[in-house]
Amino acid sequence: MARFLIGTVPVTGHVAPMVAIAQALAQAGHEVRWYTGALFQPWVINTGAQFIPMTAGFDYSLEENISAELSAQREALGGLGQIKFDLKTFFVEAAVGYCQDLQAVLKDYSADVVLADTFFLAAGWLHEAGGPPWAQLAVSALSFASKD
């Protein structure tokens, strides 16, 4: 059987689509470990996967981990400015710590593949740094321009 390492940003809309996949993999006898925010630990455990907490990575699934200063900066922006802030802060900058955490995990767990949600950038970075192959699950709308 294969060894899977799942990585999801700690947001419900990114974690929820991965639940059925993790459950199916675990039920098929694969070894599954899942790195995500602490709020989702019960979800992970219920799939049969082993929960891996964020340590170096920014776990913003728990409100107490978001500083008042960061919240104030975000709220002051609104609209497109807030979206750009979220992408920079919660996805791009956070990926640095996620990558560090996954590198530490892989010292003791030789995953055959990393499965990640769309915005879990660390999976691709990890692969580029010599880590295992990775696959991505799209959890949002396809963002290609089209008349359709």
Q: Rounded to two decimals, what is the model's pTM?
A: 0.89
Say which residues have a Cβ less than 8 Å from residue 131's Cβ, sequence separation at least 6. Answer: 102, 103, 106, 114
Say which residues have a Cβ less than 8 Å from residue 142's Cβ, sequence separation at least 6. Answer: none
Sign of CA pseudo-dihedral 40, 41, 45, 49: positive
pLDDT digits (tens, 9 = 90+) for 54-85: 999 999 998 899 899 988 988 888 888 888 98
User: In the prediction, which pLDDT does 146 show?
Assistant: 67
Asked if residue 140 has pLDDT above 80, the reply is no
Q: What is the mean pLDDT of the chain?
A: 91
pLDDT digits (tens, 9 = 90+) for 12-68: 989 999 999 999 999 999 999 999 999 999 999 999 999 999 999 999 998 899 899
- Asked if residue 98 lies in contact with residue 57, where contact means CB atoms within 8 angstroms, the answer is yes
